[in-house]
Amino acid sequence: MSEFSSITVEQCLKHPTWNMGGKITIDSATMFNKGLEVIEAHWLFHMPFDKIEVVIQPQSIIHSMLEFIDGSILAQLGLPDMRLPIQYAFTYPDRMTVRGARPIDWKTLGSLEFFPPDDEKFPSIGLAYEAGRIGGTMPCVLNGANEVAVYAFLRKEISFTRIFDIVRTVMERHTVSYDVTLASIRQADAWARRCAASLL
């Protein structure tokens, strides 16, 4: 983790396969994006957390996989281009051509690699599972604290690893409400942001 504490904003923003903007690129570097996607998958597909697994695929070709009870797997593959999933979210269940999108050239793609995330280097995934399992307002608190910490890192006010520390501390200090309404979510988000800001 010592080498992680010296990671610079500039290093983080040089993502090898995606062009997503500062906030999302840092979330990718910390892997909070994966943690948030675990929570999203839980709610969108009514899937228990113990059935959702994060696997790193560094070529960014396989974006999701669904394993069926017979062991067969359905995967969503595509070259890294955020326009495709964004457009599909708007046009679902229909698909449309994306101007300038390139198909995968299977003859030159080479191999696809998979490996598990390093929980010691990336505590973000564990924090997201924890927030999701606790439920109530905790996922909102995780997100709000992360946003404050990431923007502080982008302003060079904190180190890379401090992002994890801030989110963890804010979660530890939060009193969860299970009366989840739009008002309670807004209140939890505002509280998390104030708490995170006080830790900068």
Cα→Cα distances 37→6, 18, 135, 178, Å: 27, 17, 15, 21
* Rounded Cα distance, 173 and 183, in Å: 20
H/E stretch holding 44: helix 32-44
Yes or no: say if 149 and 158 are a contact pair by the CB < 8 Å rule: yes
Q: Residue 2: its pLDDT value, please?
A: 61
For all residues of the chain together, what is the average pLDDT?
A: 90
Whole-prediction pTM: 0.87
- Rounded average pLDDT over 104-131: 92
Longest dimension (CA), the chain: 54
* Rounded Cα distance, 86 and 23, in Å: 17
Tell me the domains of the chain and their CATH numbers. 9-53+118-198 (1.10.1740.10), 57-114 (no CATH)
What confidence tier does 15 reach under pLDDT thresholds 50, 70, 90? Answer: low
